[in-house]
Chain A
């Protein structure tokens, strides 16, 4: 799994590529925590490049989502597709996660 960060205005986009599984999902959690320490307030987690997610990956997204929500900051998860979307549907978390179809839609929702 690879993680890249880019910025659009005040919004930080984390491009995730590869597989979010039991061996590496913790890295996304760690990255977001570091960004929070650096006072980042707007996040988009872009899963366009993710073709596999397991319960650990879902758990990382849950952790990130609940942490950012408690801090009253902004998060969107964008471009879920394929089996990643299916796993989120199976866990019935489509309504829980702040999901956007595209990065553009996410930016619009954040008022960016």
Chain B
């Protein structure tokens, strides 16, 4: 699959198909983000957890929903649909906020970041390593979505209201812990 350069919004994406997915919902309690994440990830097969990388990537999405989507308002919920198998991880997270208004600005910022990386311009890259909005504070790294676009290799997409995000990652098939390459690869 080609490298994904931007985040799009399309509520009709098949990534938003919730069929056969498990569901949990959580209050927007900032202190429990990692605990909520563990409740989701505990059902994932060990071979896709990649130490704690799956957990870490999911925690970023839940944190965004809690902190930025629902502004840590505990009366608002975060809705999570998830499906794990030895070969794939799928996640849909929806908050009850007013949506990621700066999605276009984020894409423009990311394009500039990628341009600096392509040109090996590490001096200017310093201006594009952390995306800030008026909702960001000193505890925000501003880099979670850069990693998410790379990690979720089968797609990472917002719904039309931009308060929900769906993603999928496939993992190489393994037999006895050995990656199996397809014939012709």
Contacts and interface: CB of A to CB of B under 8 A. Distances in A.
Interface of A: 21-23, 25-26, 51-60, 62, 66, 69, 82-83, 86-87, 90-93, 95-96
18 contacts: A22-B63, A54-B63, A55-B142, A56-B139, A56-B140, A59-B140, A62-B141, A62-B143, A66-B126, A69-B126, A82-B51, A83-B52, A83-B53, A86-B50, A87-B53, A90-B151, A93-B143, A95-B122
Interface residues of B, number: 30
Helix, strand, loop or mixed for chain B's interface? helix
Q: Pick the most buried of A23, A57, A86, A91: most chain B CB atoms within 10 A of its CB.
A: A91
A25 B138 CA distance: 10
Contacts of A69: 126
Contacts of B52: 51-52, 83
Contacts, number: 84
Contacts of A90: 146-147, 150-151
Interface of B: 31, 33-34, 50-53, 56, 59-60, 63, 113, 117, 120, 122, 125-126, 129-130, 138-144, 146-147, 150-151
Contact of B50 (A51, A57, A83): A83
Contacts of A56: 139-141
B143 A59 contact: yes
